[in-house]
Structure 1
Amino acid sequence: MTLELRDVGWSVGFKKIVQDVSLRVEPGEFLGLIGPNGSGKTSLMSVLAGLRPPTIGTALLDGQPMKRVGRRTLAGRIGFVEQQADTIDRITVREAVSLGRTPYLSLLSPWSAGDDAIVADALDRVAMGDMADRMWQTLSGGEKQRVHIARALAQQPDFLLLDEPTNHLDIRHQLGLLELVHSLPLTVVAALHDLNHAAQFCDRIAMMDGGRLIAIGTPTEILTVDNLHRVFGVNADIEHGLDGRCHIRYRVGVDVSVADKKDRVA
């Protein structure tokens, strides 16, 4: 089970949003994607999910170009939770999660008791089984994010892709959500805003800037004083723990000159 990008670029008109990105997601790992706002993280996640075909280069699933893989197959293999996924429809939590079974349904394969069991299991895995009959609009932000993940799990994917999943959540729900994702027996790629979260939960981190992948490695290899100053324009001290993890302590004051001179992309 592999997910790979080879020399991938993605553009809108003449504007290059993602440039020359090559990476391979290792089976079973939690890969974090970090970078300043506008560095191309969201666009790269969409390419990895198969939603946006690369303008140049190749995106591969198990060594096969995604453009040759059917949409239903991609939807069954890759679960993608976007930043602002929401709905105004009056649906229950169970109905929202049931949407994850769509790739498997057809006239020859209608909804079955097996689908009910998969949806129930997905809800239980995110600790939302007792809220299955609640209306979507009554949920908190943290509860909605858990339902989004349950919907992705109902797809029974091999890969779970999350685009800044902790946005708009308080710290308790941020940590709870990442602990949940970390515990799942899946290969995970998550674009993360909080660098300490990336240090705590990720096996490897890919750092982006200006639409390019500029470094990839373990948290201690990527989250260095020089990288944080060069890419994010911040001064920080890095504390290294006995468990091999690191913790970032930011210094007061931002180097505005570093941040302002960067040519940001959407």
Structure 2
Amino acid sequence: MSLELQDVEWFAGYRQIIKGVSLEVIPGEFLGLIGPNGSGKTSLMSILSGIRRPDRGRALLSRQDMHRHGRRKLAQHIGFVEQQADTTDRLTVREAVSLGRTPYLSMLSPWTSHDDDLVAQALADVDMAHMADRHWQTLSGGEKQRVHIARALAQEPKFLLLDEPTNHLDIRHQLGLLELVRTLPVTVVAALHDLNHAALFCDRIAVMNHGVLVGLGTVPEILTKTMLRDVFGVSAQVEQDNDGNCFIRYHAAFDK
């Protein structure tokens, strides 16, 4: 199954946010999406998930325009965790995660023990099984974020899309979450704020700047002193360990 953008453009009113982006996600990879604030990352993730339709160009799932698949079919293949999502409904954690099974339920396909098992596994994966009976409104921001990710995992998606998934998480849960999604049998696309997280966990990195895809490649190809200076406006040293992993040491910000 493939996920692809072809020369995609998207406007918010008269302002162009996404400018001619073409991108093909490789099955099985962890693709990181990075860029400064306002570079178009969140808008691009919304298009990749099928929530937004491009104004120009094509967003394709299995070589077919996404809108032709229908919402239920898209939800069976793409799990999307947005930056900020909330609810006023009085739900328990288990009930919130159970919503991930909705695309598979119908009069002919009622809830079964298999659905219970998938919800339980998703809760365990994000270290929230012990809070399954807690009410949503009593959770911290980081706990809510983990529940959102568990809900997406319960969808059994082929593609897991995460928009800054480590927001509100402490460092242990940041690293644990990214390690988890890297080991899942799904293709992952994650918009990441921390460039060292991108260096540590991603197979490839896509760089957005002013709505344009300005770079796409492996971690060593993308995370360079020149890119950090030109796109992020910082002085930094990029180092590699004996295993080829990249690390960024920041020095100073430039005036841009």
With the shorter chain as reference, the TM-score category is over 0.9
Note if 1:208 corresponds to 2:226: no
String of CA shifts for 1:59-108, please: whole Å, max 9, x gaps: 11111111211110001100000001122322111000011011112223
Q: Is the 8 A contact 2:145 2:168 kept in 1?
A: no
- SS of residue paired to 1:123: helix
- SS of residue paired to 1:52: coil
Note if 1:148 corresponds to 2:114: no
In the aligned structure 2, how far is the partner of 1:110 from the partner of 1:28? 31
Q: Is the 8 A contact 2:6 2:59 kept in 1?
A: yes
1:37 is aligned to 37
Closer, same or farther in 2 for the Cα pair 1:143/1:21, shift >3 Å? same
Higher alpha-carbon deviation: 234-243 or 163-172: 163-172
String of CA shifts for 1:17-75, please: whole Å, max 9, x gaps: 00110111101100000000000000000000000001101111111111211110001
In the aligned structure 1, how far is the partner of 2:41 from the partner of 2:241? 28
In the aligned structure 2, how far is the partner of 1:196 from the partner of 1:122? 26
1:261 is aligned to none
TM-score by length of 2: 0.96
Identity, % of aligned positions: 70
Note if 1:248 corresponds to 2:245: no
RMSD over equivalenced CA pairs, Å: 1.2
- SS of residue paired to 1:51: coil
1:127 is aligned to 127
Aligned pairs for 1:78-227 within 5 A:
78-227=78-227
Equivalences, count? 256
String of CA shifts for 1:82-135, please: whole Å, max 9, x gaps: 001122322111000011011112223222222222212222222322321122
TM-score by length of 1: 0.93
String of CA shifts for 1:227-251, please: whole Å, max 9, x gaps: 1110011111111111111111000
In the aligned structure 2, how far is the partner of 1:91 from the partner of 1:64? 36
2:236 is aligned to 236
Which amino acid in the other structure matches residue 56 of structure 1?
R
Which amino acid in the other structure matches residue 101 of structure 2?
R
1:46 is aligned to 46
1:10 is aligned to 10
In the aligned structure 1, how far is the partner of 2:230 from the partner of 2:120? 46
Q: Is the 8 A contact 2:10 2:19 kept in 1?
A: yes
- SS of residue paired to 1:160: strand
Which amino acid in the other structure matches residue 86 of structure 1?
D
Task: Report the alpha carbon displacement of residue 139 of structure 1 after superposing the two structures with TM.
Answer: 2.6
- SS of residue paired to 2:99: helix
In the aligned structure 2, how far is the partner of 1:124 from the partner of 1:105? 22
Which amino acid in the other structure matches residue 224 of structure 1?
T
In the aligned structure 2, how far is the partner of 1:155 from the partner of 1:13? 33
Which amino acid in the other structure matches residue 249 of structure 2?
R
1:263 is aligned to none
In the aligned structure 2, how far is the partner of 1:208 from the partner of 1:227? 11
Q: Is the 8 A contact 2:142 2:167 kept in 1?
A: no
Task: Report the alpha carbon displacement of residue 148 of structure 1 after superposing the two structures with TM.
Answer: 1.1
In the aligned structure 2, how far is the partner of 1:219 from the partner of 1:138? 39
Task: Report the alpha carbon displacement of residue 172 of structure 1 after superposing the two structures with TM.
Answer: 2.1
In the aligned structure 1, how far is the partner of 2:89 from the partner of 2:67? 32
Structure 1 residue runs without a partner (length 5+): 259-266
Which amino acid in the other structure matches residue 72 of structure 1?
R
